[in-house]
């Protein structure tokens, strides 16, 4: 009897051990993640290759058309500007100006042009969220008098219809449309193109299991980024872009940024005092390259921006060493636009 | 010459000192605020007596009508429920149920009924923000099949028009309307009433300058509330209600709340993956009285809720002493509904 019990016990122990070693739910091909990797994968998550939208499925034909539109000066009144002028894909989807010059000489916008890279992942578009998605956003600047300055939709459509290539490209991209050259389809094509402007970086390799993808300093910076609470706002796979937040939880932002104008942000369109000074939390992907910072491009230096964020949003006096480490981590968020989406 | 210089120096010193003592910008009638009072007045700000809305000016006539509607069972199909049934003004604008029972026996809603007190200050209404303001919200539950269950707008209007008092009260409240008994006017009247459901508390007295309005423990709790970062979300004069935030920045909320159902929050209506598990940050005014907590009323105890918030939103293990102090501060946010707005 004793021997039988011992045999059963041994069987159980070995049975269990074996089960522990190869649990049914873990695919053996995936590399093991360390504790920090597991944690940050939960907080952020990998970048998709395409930011899908069920209302505008991304097809090759739409992307071909969208790419042509994105780089075409035809969409601005004086034929001097394209989407790419302010959202230059050779410089991480921005022009690095504080405010972008418009199609009309001497005019410029009132807010810093955000990058189009990974923007399709944001929960809303523009600094104040006045467009729901990249499709809705895509038409905005075309008709904005201080941006591309097209007088009206009719004018835009006439230009596109008079072109030798566009009618055919629109028809191919939107075979279900009787008259395919429409503003809505133009928005959809540019939107589909932007849905592919995803820039995976070393940080994604790190989350996928390559713990050497970040340097020691970057790993320290990532730890600080999580511990200090930056993730309360900069979360999700765009590391931001998923919520509005008050710029200046712990003080008036303009006192630290030296902003020339006090911009009340979202409350200007929502007419709601509770949203005074609220802006969309920007994505931090490619942030090292998309200077100057904040809605008004008031700060040029990344480390200065990190320091200001710590103070204004978290009431923290980050030490220069902490700022250095966090900035090093932010460098790991720089990726590359897929070559086939670039101009020529 | 030396004497003259001395005279000038004395003059300057005294001149400056006098200027320092009575600066031109401070009204002498206002009590001096200490450092913490100054800080928190900036972070939160005093409660107004009326939460004004330029699209629906609050008039006495609208409030009289809105109050009658708020307490009237006529607005539910089986005449068993009013707004006050779930948002009871005798119990701080809630019913303290996890999910409120509806007009139809045996049915109940899927989210915890939030308080109507101070709700007019929120930037949007409902846990998921699907109504822009209290006017838009006011009609929602009336027609919701598991709430007040009225079959359609026509049915509501017929009931109101058949009543002996309502046609006259609507006409008085909306003299500019030809046919005043409309759903829009019903919403506006209830909204106007709710815009007066403001409950100033000891904390407002504290912000106004009475530093003895909070106990020593409450003051300690207030300091912790600010230092620990609770104010990153619970800000403004409603101490919340100004933004959406992910419930569970640092972990799955249902693992701590033991929620029976995983509710994805805002993404269910925005269809945007970036907003998965996002809910409106609730106001903390009267929070001690508006248990149970969270969108699903999954936690009954305030201290437990504070502890969960610290862990899930800020990655902090608050000590029992810290939880006690913060909860004591939260007690100071309990106010009173103005007597004339209560039933009878």
CA dist B187 → B67, B83, B103, B158 (Å): 12, 12, 20, 16
Could A272 and B123 be called an inter-chain contact, meaning their C-beta atoms sit closer than 8 Å? Answer: yes
| A 18-47 residues with CB < 8 A to B | 42-43
Give SS3 for B331. helix
Could A42 and B251 be called an inter-chain contact, meaning their C-beta atoms sit closer than 8 Å? Answer: yes
- pLDDT at residue A2, as a whole number: 53
Q: How far is CA A179 from the centre of its chain?
A: 33
* Catalytic one of B81, B135, B147, B275: B147
Cβ–Cβ contact B54 with A under 8 A? yes
Name the closest residue on chain B to residue A133, using Cα atoms: B272
CA distance A265 to chain B (A): 13
Q: What is the 3-state secondary structure (H, E, C) of chain A?
A: CHHHHHHHHHHHHHHHHHHHHCCCCCCCCCCCCCHHHHHHHHHCCCCCCCCCCCCCCCCHHHHHHHHHHHCCHHHCCCCCCCHHHHCCHHHCCCCCCCCCECCCCCCECCCCCCCCCCHHHCCCECCCCCECCHHHHHHHHHHCCCCCCCCCHHHHHHHHHHCCCHHHHHHHHCCCCCCCCCHHHHHHHHHHHHCCCCCCEHHHHHHHCCCCCCCHHHHHHHHHHHHCCHHHCCCCCCCCCCCEEECCCCCCHHHHHCCCCCCCECHHHHCCHHHCCEEECCCCCCHHHCCCECCCCCECCHHHHHHHHHHHHHCCCCCHHHHHHHHHHHHCCCECCCHHHCCC
Could A235 and B251 be called an inter-chain contact, meaning their C-beta atoms sit closer than 8 Å? Answer: no
Q: Which residues of B touch A274 (CB under 8 A)?
A: 121-123, 236, 238, 241-242
Q: How far apart are CA A249 and CA A278, in angstroms?
A: 10
What's the average pLDDT block by block, 10 residues per block, for chain B (344 residues)?
48 42 54 92 94 95 98 94 95 95 71 97 96 93 88 94 98 96 97 98 96 97 96 96 96 96 94 94 98 97 98 97 98 96 86
Around Cβ B330, how many Cβ atoms within 10 Å? Answer: 26
Residue of B41, B242, B275, B278 to mutate, testing the A interface (most A Cβ within 10 Å of its Cβ): B242
> What whole-number percentage of chain B has pLDDT above 70?
90
- pLDDT at residue B139, as a whole number: 83
Could A274 and B242 be called an inter-chain contact, meaning their C-beta atoms sit closer than 8 Å? Answer: yes
Could A122 and B274 be called an inter-chain contact, meaning their C-beta atoms sit closer than 8 Å? Answer: yes
What the block records as the tokens of B147 is 């709430």
Q: Which of A314, A292, A317, A286 is nearest to A305 (CA)?
A: A292
Could A243 and B244 be called an inter-chain contact, meaning their C-beta atoms sit closer than 8 Å? Answer: yes
Environment class of A153 (CB within 10 Å of its CB; exposed 0-12, middle 13-18, buried 19+): middle
Contact (Cβ atoms closer than 8 angstroms) between residue A252 and residue A308: no
- pLDDT at residue B320, as a whole number: 98
ipTM score of the complex? 0.79
Name the closest residue on chain A to residue B312, using Cα atoms: A232
Angle subtended at Cα B84 by Cα B82 and Cα B89, rounded to the nearest 5 degrees:
165
- Radius of gyration over alpha carbons of chain A, in Å? 24
Name the closest residue on chain A to residue B44, using Cα atoms: A249
Could A246 and B245 be called an inter-chain contact, meaning their C-beta atoms sit closer than 8 Å? Answer: no
Residues ≥6 apart with Cβ < 8 Å to A105? none
- pLDDT at residue B88, as a whole number: 97
Count CA within 13 A, CB hemisphere, residue A305.
22
Could B249 and A243 be called an inter-chain contact, meaning their C-beta atoms sit closer than 8 Å? Answer: no
Count CA within 13 A, CB hemisphere, residue B337.
24
Could B226 and A278 be called an inter-chain contact, meaning their C-beta atoms sit closer than 8 Å? Answer: no
pLDDT tens-place string over residues B228-267: 999 999 999 999 999 999 999 999 999 999 999 999 999 9
H/E stretch holding B195 reads none
- Radius of gyration over alpha carbons of chain B, in Å? 24
Residues ≥6 apart with Cβ < 8 Å to A168? none
Positions of A marked catalytic: 147
CA distance A215 to chain B (A): 24
Residue of A274, A277, A285, A317 to mutate, testing the B interface (most B Cβ within 10 Å of its Cβ): A274
CA distance A122 to chain B (A): 7
Q: Taking the alpha carbons of B236, B241, B243, B246 in that order, is the dihedral positive or negative?
A: positive
Give SS3 for B246. strand
Could A43 and B249 be called an inter-chain contact, meaning their C-beta atoms sit closer than 8 Å? Answer: yes
Q: Which residues of B touch A242 (CB under 8 A)?
A: 246, 274-275, 278
Phi/psi-derived region of residue B72, left when phi > 0, alpha when psi is between -120 and 50, beta in every other case: beta
CA distance B226 to chain A (A): 9
Q: Which residues of B touch A243 (CB under 8 A)?
A: 243-246, 275, 278
pTM, 2 dp = 0.84
CA dist B87 → A258, B112, B293 (Å): 46, 11, 15
Give SS3 for B175. coil
Cβ–Cβ contact B226 with A under 8 A? yes
- pLDDT at residue A145, as a whole number: 85
What residues does A325 pair with on adjacent strands?
none
Q: For chain A, 344 residues long, give each residue's pLDDT as a single digit of tens.
A: 455 555 444 444 444 444 444 445 555 567 889 999 999 999 999 899 999 998 999 999 999 999 999 999 999 999 999 999 999 999 999 999 999 887 776 666 689 999 999 999 999 999 999 999 999 999 888 888 888 889 999 999 999 999 999 999 999 999 999 999 999 999 999 999 999 999 999 999 999 999 999 999 999 999 999 999 999 999 999 999 999 999 999 999 999 999 999 999 999 999 888 999 999 999 999 999 999 999 999 999 999 999 999 999 999 999 999 999 999 999 999 999 999 999 87
Contact (Cβ atoms closer than 8 angstroms) between residue A85 and residue A196: no
Could B315 and A226 be called an inter-chain contact, meaning their C-beta atoms sit closer than 8 Å? Answer: yes
Please count the residue pairs, one from chain A and one from chain B, whose beta carbons lie less than 8 angstroms apart.
Answer: 76
Cβ–Cβ contact B315 with A under 8 A? yes
Q: How far apart are CA A140 and CA B193, in angstroms?
A: 39
Cβ–Cβ contact B122 with A under 8 A? yes
Q: Taking the alpha carbons of B249, B253, B256, B257 in that order, is the dihedral positive or negative?
A: positive
Q: Which residue has the tokens 């902003």?
A: A259
Q: Which residues of A touch B271 (CB under 8 A)?
A: 54
Residues ≥6 apart with Cβ < 8 Å to B339? none
Q: Which of A273, A83, A100 is nearest to A197 (CA)?
A: A83
């Amino acid at each position: 009897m004793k021997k039988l019990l011992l045999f059963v016990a041994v069987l159980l122990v070995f049975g269990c051990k074996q089960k522990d070693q190869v649990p049914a739910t873990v695919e053996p091909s995936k590399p093991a993640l360390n504790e920090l990797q597991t944690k940050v994968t939960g907080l952020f998550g990998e970048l998709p290759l395409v930011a899908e939208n069920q209302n505008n499925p991304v097809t090759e034909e739409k992307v071909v058309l969208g790419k042509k539109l994105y780089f075409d000066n035809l969409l601005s009144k004086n034929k001097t500007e394209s989407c790419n002028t302010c959202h230059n894909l050779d410089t991480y989807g921005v022009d690095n100006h504080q405010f972008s010059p418009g199609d009309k000489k001497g005019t410029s916008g009132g807010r810093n042009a955000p990058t189009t890279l990974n923007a399709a992942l944001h929960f809303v578009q523009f600094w104040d969220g006045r467009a729901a998605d990249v499709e809705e956003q895509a038409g905005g600047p075309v008709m904005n008098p201080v941006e591309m300055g097209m007088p009206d939709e009719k004018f835009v459509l006439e230009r596109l219809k008079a072109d030798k290539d566009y009618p055919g490209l629109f028809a191919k991209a939107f075979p279900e449309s009787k008259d395919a050259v429409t503003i809505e389809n133009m928005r959809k094509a540019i939107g589909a193109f932007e849905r592919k402007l995803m820039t995976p970086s070393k940080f994604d390799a790190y989350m996928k299991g390559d713990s050497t993808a970040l340097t020691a300093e970057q790993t320290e910076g990532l730890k600080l980024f999580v511990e200090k609470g930056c993730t309360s706002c900069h979360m999700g796979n765009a590391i931001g872009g998923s919520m509005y937040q008050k710029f200046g939880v712990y003080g008036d932002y303009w006192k630290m940024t030296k902003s020339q104008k006090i911009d009340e942000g979202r409350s200007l369109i929502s007419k709601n005092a509770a949203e005074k000074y609220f802006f969309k939390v920007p994505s931090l992907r490619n942030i090292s390259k998309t200077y100057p910072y904040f809605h008004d491009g008031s700060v040029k230096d990344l480390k200065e921006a990190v320091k200001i964020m710590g103070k204004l949003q978290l009431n923290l006096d980050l030490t220069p060493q902490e700022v250095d480490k966090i900035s090093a981590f932010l460098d790991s968020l720089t990726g590359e636009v897929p070559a086939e989406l670039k101009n020529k």
